[in-house]
Amino acid sequence: MSTHSPQGLSSSSAVMRHAALLITGALILIPFVWMVSLSIKPPGEIFRASFSFWPHEFYGIENYTKALTEAPLPQYMLNGVFVCASIVILQILICAPAAYALAKLDFPGKNLLFAMVLIALLLPHEVLALPLFILGYQIGILNTYAALIVPYVVSPFGIFLFRQFFKTIPDDVIHAARLDGLSELSIVWKIMVPMALPAIIAFGIFSVVGHWNSLFWPLIAVRDQSLMPPPLGIMAFKNEEAGNDYGPLMAASTIVVLPLIIAFLSAQRWFVEGLTGGAVK
Amino acid sequence: MNKIFIKQISKSFGATPVLRDVSLSIADGEFLTLLGASGCGKSTLLRILAGLELQTGGSVAIGERVVDGVRPKRRDVAMVFQSYALYPHMTVQDNMALPLRMRRLSSWQRLPLAGRFMPGTTATTAEIERDVTRTAKALGIGHLLARKPGQLSGGQRQRVAVGRAMVRQPAVFLMDEPLSNLDAMLRVQMRAEIKELHNRLGVTFVYVTHDESEAMTMSDRVAVMLDGELLQVAPPQEIYADPDDRRVAEFIGSPKINMLEARLRDGGLADAAGTSFAVAANVAHGTALTLGIRPEAFHLVDAGGANILTGAVRLVEHMGSDLFVHLDVPGTEHPLIARLLAERAPQILTGQTLHLGVKPERLLLFAADGKRLRPHNHRNGTVLRMRELAQ
């Protein structure tokens, strides 16, 4: 008796829970599925009133060829890879030592510095767009790769996330490392970062996804098409070339998000571990 | 050669004093234990020795060298931590090799890929590997070198931690409660192994513990600490039999020492718990005293009298060879505990009236401030000589 009623209750609540998850999942997935569906349809079918996922006439090869040839999509993708990789590497190079200092070292002004990190965490990057634009103009880096990379290399989110993770590493490990002869910087790179690898990978994914998809700042910072990251490139492509030609546009969009999906699926385990690891230990 | 001198060390965290004016000298090759309840500052003192914590005042010298402000790695000390503090992402081999790599290879030679092509790297790396393997074999963990700490049991991790400290042959070993995470059986075994290790290496060991039996069984000398103060430093048997302070007497010994409040009157007699004891203390009449009686100082007698306590048996605990008898004596706050040999004591029943005698020379007298009162201020000759030797 006593085991039956909670089970019944939990199964009905499980149905509710799954219904809610299915609906929100669908809301997120449908536009995406639609995009993929449109990318393999001929122009005539795209605006037909009836909806079907699979096209009557497979037009994928034409759309994808057009997407890859009419606009410099490979160039955009390479720009995206270069910019995202530079950002994430520089972010880790800067955030890990900063987070170590905030988590494990004692120095005057530490709490004030951490408060400043938290304040920076609250500020949306868009707020800083105008000052950054003026600054970029003054030092003459606008319309270069540097303009896309430099504003992001110090990540308050990264410092915060790493600090929280480093705090869970016992002090004794650091003491042992000091006695073993490691300098403070080698402690960061040889002990702390490898021990916090799940958090580092989770942060890396966040960073890459965010900057790969970023449109707002690149729109301000670069004008040269050869420097444009993928989303900006697609926008330019739409304005100049495609007009109402949604097939190739959707094909280009699909190509642009594909690397992210592959990267996320292959690193999923790390991602979840990194976000929950600090909390449950 | 590797004596340690600790001179008037004090340490406070903010306004809270943790160590007060601690002075101590440790002989070369000695096994010294810092014993005290948790929070008494013993681990802090060890960390100051290692250079992991900076003292507020005072100075530390290892060998001939004052090491205040010297970085931990330059002090030639190795430490074993309570939590072992192994690097979880490295294999046992890498854990043990790291201190050697940091010392024997230059920073260029340690570079991940290019380092391999620097002159001398291969030879030094092979030498490090040999040393690690030798140490691991000596500790019986030779077959675990390829594993990571997560795949080891508590006892194996403990051995790896000792191995990491041992492999670079430091002048001083510091151990911070290394056995407290092990189960009781393993603890007794590792206790013997660490003692053996000390005999074999012959270097100075400073060992921190709150476990009295570890301190008593392993040490050459025990330093008893309480509330940031050093109360007494002496060999284990002297700490037990001849404590300097009431708090030391109460901390050491299980079951706990019996304490009776007494007052001195004419003829060198002290009244306590309805009887009078002959005491040989050099103090004025009417002074309040505390009489300390170890449980095993009692012997069974047939009838009451001077130096004899009489009371009703409250509880009898059979410990195999011994009996612990809890006795309610009128005029005392707590029941007294006597330890009697099982075969010498007849069948003792709860509620029975028992007479327990104490020889006057087995009474420990303490003044009201807790300091020990010694008979006519004379110390046992052997004890005095041992102290001189130790200093």
Bridge partner list, B35: B209, B224
Outline where DSSP puts E strands in B30-171.
31-35, 57-62, 65-66, 77-80
Quick one: closest CA in B to A194, which residue?
B89
pTM passes above 0.90 = no
Q: What is the mean pLDDT of residues B112-126?
A: 80
**pLDDT score at A279:** 39
User: Tens digit of pLDDT for each residue in A98-118?
Assistant: 999 999 998 999 999 999 999
Nearest residue, CB atoms, A195 vs list B77, B81, B88: B88
> Taking CB atoms and an 8 Å limit, are B79 and A175 in contact across chains?
yes
Closest CA to A67 of A98, A35, A27, A94: A35
Q: Do B358 and B311 belong to one domain?
A: yes
Residue B110 pLDDT grade (very low, low, confident, very high; cuts 50, 70, 90)? confident
**Edge-to-edge strand ranges of the sheet holding B221-226:** B77-80, B172-176, B204-209, B31-35, B221-226, B229-234
> Taking CB atoms and an 8 Å limit, are A179 and B72 in contact across chains?
yes
The answer as to whether B389 is a domain residue is no
Residues of A in contact with B89 (CB under 8 A): 194-195, 197
> Taking CB atoms and an 8 Å limit, are A173 and B77 in contact across chains?
no
Q: Does A194 touch chain B (CB under 8 A)?
A: yes
> Taking CB atoms and an 8 Å limit, are A179 and B102 in contact across chains?
no
**pLDDT score at B252:** 87
Give the distance, in angstroms, between the CA of residue B355 and the centroid of all CA atoms in the same chain.
35
Q: What is the overall mean pLDDT for chain B?
A: 84
**Is the pLDDT assigned to residue A266 strictly greater than 50?**
yes
End-to-end CA distance of chain A: 37
The answer as to whether B250 is a domain residue is no
The percentage of chain B sitting over the pLDDT mark of 90, rounded to a whole number, equals: 9
CA distance A247 to chain B (A): 48
Q: What is the overall mean pLDDT for chain A?
A: 85
Q: What is the mean pLDDT of residues A3-15?
A: 66
Instruction: Show which of B213, B241, B269 is a domain's final residue.
Output: B241
**pLDDT score at B206:** 92
Using CA atoms, how far apart are residues A194 and B14, in angstroms rounded to an integer? 33
Amino acid identity, position B373: L
Identity of the highest mean pLDDT range in A114-118, B17-21, B303-307, B384-388: A114-118
> Taking CB atoms and an 8 Å limit, are A195 and B87 in contact across chains?
yes
Q: Do B153 and B11 belong to one domain?
A: yes
What's the number of domains chain B is made of? 2
Tokens of A171: 């002090």
More confident residue, B362 or A90: A90
Residues of chain B whose C-beta is under 8 A from some C-beta in A? 47, 50-52, 71-73, 77-79, 81-83, 85-89, 98-99, 102-103, 164
CA distance B168 to chain A (A): 9
Q: What is the largest CA-CA distance in chain B?
A: 88
Give the distance, in angstroms, between the CA of residue B300 and the centroid of all CA atoms in the same chain.
33
The percentage of chain B sitting over the pLDDT mark of 70, rounded to a whole number, equals: 93
User: Tens digit of pLDDT for each residue in B148-183?
Assistant: 888 888 888 888 998 998 888 888 899 998 888 888
Residue B390 pLDDT grade (very low, low, confident, very high; cuts 50, 70, 90)? very low
Residue B202 pLDDT grade (very low, low, confident, very high; cuts 50, 70, 90)? confident
Q: Which of A242-246, B331-335, B375-379 has the lowest mean pLDDT?
A: B375-379
Q: Do B37 and B179 belong to one domain?
A: yes
The region that residue B8 occupies, defined by phi over 0 for left and psi between -120 and 50 for alpha, beta otherwise, is left
Domain spanning A65-280: CATH 3.40.1050.10:
no
Chain A interface, mutation test: which of B102, B169, B206, most A Cβ atoms within 10 Å?
B102
The DSSP line for A111-165 is HHHHHHHHHHHHS-GGGGHHHHHHHHHHTT-TTSHHHHHGGGSS-HHHHHHHHHH
Q: What is the mean pLDDT of residues A182-187?
A: 91
> Taking CB atoms and an 8 Å limit, are A195 and B71 in contact across chains?
no
The answer as to whether B66 is a domain residue is yes
Q: Which of A131-135, A158-162, A270-274, B17-21 has the lowest mean pLDDT?
A: A270-274
Report the sign of the C-alpha dihedral through residues B215, B220, B226, B231, in that order: positive
> Taking CB atoms and an 8 Å limit, are B81 and A175 in contact across chains?
yes
Instruction: Show which of B214, B241, B268 is a domain's final residue.
Output: B241
**pLDDT score at A81:** 92
Q: Do B139 and B44 belong to one domain?
A: yes
Q: Does A106 touch chain B (CB under 8 A)?
A: no
Q: Do B127 and B222 belong to one domain?
A: yes
Residues of A in contact with B87 (CB under 8 A): 173, 176-177, 191, 194-195
Nearest residue, CB atoms, A179 vs list B73, B83, B89: B73
Supply φ then ψ for residue B354, to 5 degrees: -130, 140
> Taking CB atoms and an 8 Å limit, are A175 and B52 in contact across chains?
yes
Q: Do B38 and B167 belong to one domain?
A: yes
Q: Which of B82-86, B245-249, B328-332 has the lowest mean pLDDT?
A: B328-332
Chain A interface, mutation test: which of B62, B86, B89, most A Cβ atoms within 10 Å?
B89
**Is the pLDDT assigned to residue A162 strictly greater than 90?**
yes
CA distance B48 to chain A (A): 12
Cis check for the bond before B255: say yes or no (omega within 30 of 0). yes
Q: Do B175 and B65 belong to one domain?
A: yes
Nearest residue, CB atoms, A175 vs list B85, B86, B164: B85
Q: What is the CATH number of the domain that holds B223?
A: 3.40.50.300
Domain that holds residue B187: 4-241
**pLDDT score at B335:** 86
Q: Does A191 touch chain B (CB under 8 A)?
A: yes
Q: Does A195 touch chain B (CB under 8 A)?
A: yes
The segment(s) of chain A belonging to CATH 1.10.3720.10 are 65-280
> Taking CB atoms and an 8 Å limit, are B103 and A182 in contact across chains?
no
Quick one: closest CA in B to A195, which residue?
B89
Bridge partner list, B323: B318, B340
**pLDDT score at A276:** 54
Chain B interface, mutation test: which of A179, A190, A193, most B Cβ atoms within 10 Å?
A179
CA distance B140 to chain A (A): 22
Tokens of A5: 């009623």
ipTM beyond 0.90? no
Q: What is the mean pLDDT of residues A220-232?
A: 86
Give the distance, in angstroms, between the CA of residue A168 and the centroid of all CA atoms in the same chain.
25
Quick one: closest CA in B to A191, which residue?
B87
**Is the pLDDT assigned to residue B331 strictly greater than 50?**
yes
Q: Does A175 touch chain B (CB under 8 A)?
A: yes
> Taking CB atoms and an 8 Å limit, are A179 and B98 in contact across chains?
no
Nearest residue, CB atoms, B81 vs list A176, A182, A194: A176
Closest CA to B291 of B254, B251, B264: B264
Quick one: closest CA in A to B162, which residue?
A176
Q: What is the mean pLDDT of residues A177-200?
A: 90
Residue A92 pLDDT grade (very low, low, confident, very high; cuts 50, 70, 90)? very high
Closest CA to A254 of A63, A23, A85: A63
User: Tens digit of pLDDT for each residue in B237-271?
Assistant: 988 888 888 888 888 888 888 888 887 777 677 77
User: Tens digit of pLDDT for each residue in A55-65?
Assistant: 777 887 888 88
> Taking CB atoms and an 8 Å limit, are A175 and B50 in contact across chains?
yes
